[in-house]
Structure 1
């Protein structure tokens, strides 16, 4: 089903800067919905902003949500590709699915975004941040994206944002479902699932497998021109038990593996292997209408391995969270204690410091938060203190204010401090420098939002200054001698996001516009692989029994490296999707991405997909 590729330039959508955007900001926090169901039966709930459920309309942060139906309509094979269509988010990838991927929220580095899967932290102790290529999108039911700082709630790493991913929770009579997909590059994937619940016990089981011949990961003349395919699989088991009124236990096991080709040499078939395993056990207890507690234990194991030039890195992360919330009229008080332990096993030609990496490190955190609503005004304060076994104590805080000055209008303002400690690899690996210090940030932002009926629009302006920025650079006091990590100075991340949605003439319209200025303050240069302008526009309608949709995404020019010498051209992508119900419970969907067959790069000399077609058939037991 391979389609031809052309390199015609596409017209920039950035000139249409007046278009507002739609973001699905009405979040459905499935694990927390029960807590508010009796008092907010019709209002959506989010948990990512404060780690506690709260109505979307009261959130004093910039949050959007992606539900399962949008995930299926997107027709993508990675969480990162889905996030790239959200306001304030950009990505870069070294080739196709399964290759190294970075997600930038409001211009922040990949390592400066905290990621959670069913409340369990997902991170890597090599370069830092989630390895997005490991996360199985086919198991994800809902995603919450918090744009902006979250360290005062989540601790280290949440400088630019927080991403919460949730798997499916069973409910109601036992129901089976299955899907099959096939498309360009001989891509095919299948998934089966079984879920249900009787009010006391609920369960969700799912398995998937897919593969693709892919395209060449690198495009420069000195690389192997072969197609670099991928294959992957995932398993999920989740069970919940409401063992007493107001009290519930949940257990989740998730495992995924990815095997993907990449080009490191001219002749060898280089292969990267990924594994991600997460486990969580949590208890939630409601003591009264105003008092709730939550305790969670979690572990993540992330493996990244290269062949035939052997390299293997394995991160093990364990975390513990105990949180209690008390509601007093229109006020809410939250306290929490948290512990995180990191270890890294590294096998490469230069692993002289493996014992130090294996010893790992830990962080202990204490957090307190308060929220008060006083008529049209809301005030929210969070303070947190973390003790790191290597760097000692670090305190962070946030202050947010909201003002509903008219029934449809709300203004907000906030300020926060953040930090991120260096990874074990950055300090003790072959390119590591033990004297690195934590990155720290100071963020301020203003927001304005309007909502009425099914329409809404918003504007957010922010500035985030990050000091002691860690970069991979030249010679220094590391074992490699010629290339070392270093604290190189500071960065300023600032910008404006416009977003909105509405219905017009039988169509659902959505769009966003991001104007960014991610700058190295010491050199005045633009930060690598981040564009200054990004715009999206989408429309959906129903016609003749079909559900039809179209999307346009424009990304401005970027630079591959921070010296700003290697420019990556801007690009515009056009996508189409159509679906219809064949019989009750059986749906057919066809999707075309990159309709104009645009040739573009998100990283210099690394390939991207041309025009692609994906056809999916989904069945759900009725």
Structure 2
């Protein structure tokens, strides 16, 4: 309790100093320019966010700092209409608009990553060292990006090589209210240019001890040891042409107790990931550009269990020791034609491969072409029409169109609408690899005859600004067909030795609709109040029940403060997650309170402190306990 009182007192002291209240100056310039942010994910071309079609949110580097976020998963926790789910292996995955964790495509600078353990890429494995900002596009984006973008896209935009000497470092330490979960985080970066050559290098480490709130297996949090490095290298050719190369490398180990096959066992996991790419960007003419890119993504996991689990009846894919690769070749041409049209055309080739210690070796190839026409019909009315054709080596082709329109009712008031189709191709496990879940009590068998999941979505919204107030309201609806679900067909054994067998099939249909609300208000004396709220209604058309794990409400409110002359910034954030339906037992709603405060010591040094989950909420939902942290940041 004394810790809570001390943290709240410090934050209130920073927020309510009389001299500051009189002045009312603020350095929170990012709030002023939020509607002027440039985004690329919605159309693959640069557009001001207020003019970009559909629903787009930008999470800035400064906002990530002020959340105390160490990973992309933490940086997305307060995003509108996005819910972070904890999946098998304790991986954190985003679900946009209730579509599910496999229906959100995650990119780094528009590049795909190979999936990880059980066909999932955990965002808690991606550090924030190199992030410039994150763009979240809500709504189907398969017309530009292909498979997995039924719910939307999370595009992690990284920093580019520096033109001048740039240095920075951060050190952070924290622990939870029980004295467990001790964490140390460090990161640093350096960048510069030498003539036509520029570079930016970054690295970080994260060391976090495990914790157990109830003293009963499994542990509530694992020991985590994560090291990462990333780099960007650019070379300026003549006449607006540039070569860009880069890499991201992450090594992560996590260790904790699990209840596996009715016995407490220690589970130790090593995750290794390497992404690398080479890209050419050039101005062919003043009105046209060309991008060519080769991308390689590699992932390997090694899992050991002590004492080892017994063999599962029948051959199963070895998810404990698997290697995955993704190779991507892409070309894209963009040009302005007939003054009012911006035409984008592209082609893409992807080869994904997976092999494991059981000698299971499979691959899937994809050939794609896509096109988009951005047409300024007349001054107030803008239209973006796009379509993509994907051909898979294993199960045929998919065509996904999308139409978006923006009508400027006034200079500061816009009406936006969109219709689009999306799809998700079956993953390796669903097609080829038998796996076991729930401590080996259930076995999911593959089905090489699966069809892709498909969707059709609609949305309409209005957004605008008036003086210091910004707001947006959006209604959306998504219908998903041929959802891939495991279907029970037999059991073997009895009692503790009983095993249930399932096979993946295209059986389910789902309907999802909801309303999103976002707003921001600049208050006097340097304060800003902002928030979002999403209401969700889901139905599994096969059973008539709600879809599992989707909250009926999810929203965030943030009161932020900034005073430039004294170099003080602070915020208090409240996030509410509503009830979630599960077949065995519903999950209760929870409300999480976080706080942050920082002070500039000099132009180069800043100290900061904060607390996550101030009132220790969400224990029944396996939410991490109350966590206090402090640190220092240097920049040049």
Q: TM above 0.5, one fold?
A: yes
d(CA) in 2 for partners of 1:529, 1:49: 27
Post-superposition CA distance 1:290-309 (Å, at most 9, x none)? 11110111011122332124
Give the C-alpha shift of residue 542 in structure 1.
3.2
Higher Cα Rg, which structure: 2
Give the C-alpha shift of residue 503 in structure 1.
0.2
d(CA) in 1 for partners of 2:32, 2:342: 21
Taking a change above 3 Å as real, the CA distance of residues 259 and 26 of structure 1, as seen in their structure-2 partners, is: farther
Match of 1:323 among 310, 332, 353: 332
d(CA) in 1 for partners of 2:573, 2:446: 43
d(CA) in 2 for partners of 1:27, 1:248: 29
Taking a change above 3 Å as real, the CA distance of residues 135 and 264 of structure 1, as seen in their structure-2 partners, is: same
d(CA) in 2 for partners of 1:25, 1:387: 43
Is structure 2 residue 583 aligned with structure 1 residue 580? no
Q: Which residue of 2 aligns with 1:285?
A: 282
Is structure 2 residue 100 aligned with structure 1 residue 109? yes
Is structure 2 residue 409 aligned with structure 1 residue 415? no
Instruction: Please show how residues 559-598 of structure 1 align to structure 2 within 5 Å.
Output: 559=581, 561=582, 563=583, 565-598=584-617
Contact 1:149 1:417 in 2 (8 A): yes
Contact 1:26 1:56 in 2 (8 A): no
Contact 2:210 2:219 in 1 (8 A): no
Is structure 2 residue 406 aligned with structure 1 residue 402? yes
d(CA) in 1 for partners of 2:168, 2:560: 25
Match of 1:208 among 198, 204, 213: 204
Give the C-alpha shift of residue 155 in structure 1.
0.9
Q: Which residue of 1 aligns with 2:252?
A: 258
Give the C-alpha shift of residue 398 in structure 1.
0.5
Length, aligned pairs only: 571
SS in structure 2 of the partner of residue 70 of structure 1: helix
SS in structure 1 of the partner of residue 489 of structure 2: coil
Q: Which residue of 1 aligns with 2:557?
A: 537
Q: Which residue of 2 aligns with 1:342?
A: 352
Question: 5+ residue gaps in structure 1?
Answer: 5-21, 29-41
Taking a change above 3 Å as real, the CA distance of residues 433 and 136 of structure 1, as seen in their structure-2 partners, is: same
Match of 1:248 among 242, 259, 268: 242
Instruction: Please show how residues 514-533 of structure 1 align to structure 2 within 5 Å.
Output: 514-533=534-553
Instruction: Please show how residues 148-297 of structure 1 align to structure 2 within 5 Å.
Output: 148-184=139-175, 185-197=181-193, 200-216=196-212, 221=216, 223-225=217-219, 228-265=222-259, 266-297=263-294
d(CA) in 2 for partners of 1:474, 1:535: 36
Q: Which residue of 2 aligns with 1:32?
A: none
Contact 1:27 1:64 in 2 (8 A): no
**TM-score normalised by structure 2 residue count:** 0.85
Across the aligned residues of Structure 1 and Structure 2, the Cα RMSD in angstroms comes to 2.6
Greater displacement, 591-600 / 565-574? 591-600
Deviation above 4 Å: which 4+ runs of structure 1? 1-4, 24-28, 218-221, 224-227
Contact 2:87 2:93 in 1 (8 A): no
Q: Which residue of 2 aligns with 1:439?
A: 453
Post-superposition CA distance 1:380-399 (Å, at most 9, x none)? 11011111101112111011
d(CA) in 1 for partners of 2:219, 2:405: 55
Post-superposition CA distance 1:256-299 (Å, at most 9, x none)? 01111243235332122222210111001112221111011101
Contact 1:476 1:484 in 2 (8 A): no
Taking a change above 3 Å as real, the CA distance of residues 200 and 426 of structure 1, as seen in their structure-2 partners, is: same
Post-superposition CA distance 1:579-617 (Å, at most 9, x none)? 010112000010111111113344xxxx33111111120
Q: Which residue of 1 aligns with 2:48?
A: 55
Taking a change above 3 Å as real, the CA distance of residues 323 and 453 of structure 1, as seen in their structure-2 partners, is: farther
d(CA) in 1 for partners of 2:607, 2:572: 17
Q: Which residue of 1 aligns with 2:323?
A: 314
Contact 1:531 1:555 in 2 (8 A): yes
d(CA) in 1 for partners of 2:32, 2:150: 23
Match of 2:371 among 364, 368, 372: 368
Give the C-alpha shift of residue 141 in structure 1.
2.4
Taking a change above 3 Å as real, the CA distance of residues 105 and 225 of structure 1, as seen in their structure-2 partners, is: closer
Contact 2:116 2:299 in 1 (8 A): no
d(CA) in 2 for partners of 1:113, 1:424: 17
Is structure 2 residue 391 aligned with structure 1 residue 381? no
Taking a change above 3 Å as real, the CA distance of residues 279 and 534 of structure 1, as seen in their structure-2 partners, is: same
Contact 2:210 2:256 in 1 (8 A): no
Q: Which residue of 1 aligns with 2:22?
A: none
**TM-score normalised by structure 1 residue count:** 0.87
d(CA) in 1 for partners of 2:58, 2:126: 17
Contact 1:2 1:612 in 2 (8 A): no
Contact 1:157 1:421 in 2 (8 A): yes
Post-superposition CA distance 1:390-437 (Å, at most 9, x none)? 111211101112111112111011111111110121111112112211
d(CA) in 2 for partners of 1:297, 1:392: 24
d(CA) in 2 for partners of 1:179, 1:110: 31
d(CA) in 1 for partners of 2:520, 2:465: 9
Give the C-alpha shift of residue 471 in structure 1.
2.0
Contact 2:591 2:618 in 1 (8 A): no
Contact 2:131 2:159 in 1 (8 A): yes
Post-superposition CA distance 1:199-231 (Å, at most 9, x none)? 722210011111011323x9694x245862111
Is structure 2 residue 396 aligned with structure 1 residue 392? yes
Give the C-alpha shift of residue 312 in structure 1.
1.9
Higher relative contact order (CA 8 A, sep 6+): 1
Contact 2:116 2:300 in 1 (8 A): no
SS in structure 1 of the partner of residue 398 of structure 2: strand
Give the C-alpha shift of residue 65 in structure 1.
0.9
SS in structure 2 of the partner of residue 111 of structure 1: helix
d(CA) in 1 for partners of 2:31, 2:547: 28
d(CA) in 2 for partners of 1:27, 1:257: 37
d(CA) in 2 for partners of 1:123, 1:517: 32
Contact 1:25 1:64 in 2 (8 A): no
Q: Which residue of 2 aligns with 1:12?
A: none
Match of 2:122 among 131, 148, 151: 131
d(CA) in 1 for partners of 2:161, 2:630: 27
Contact 1:569 1:600 in 2 (8 A): no
Taking a change above 3 Å as real, the CA distance of residues 235 and 26 of structure 1, as seen in their structure-2 partners, is: farther
Taking a change above 3 Å as real, the CA distance of residues 245 and 186 of structure 1, as seen in their structure-2 partners, is: same
Question: 5+ residue gaps in structure 2?
Answer: 5-27, 176-180, 309-317, 435-444, 492-498
Post-superposition CA distance 1:443-477 (Å, at most 9, x none)? 01101110245532101111010101112342379
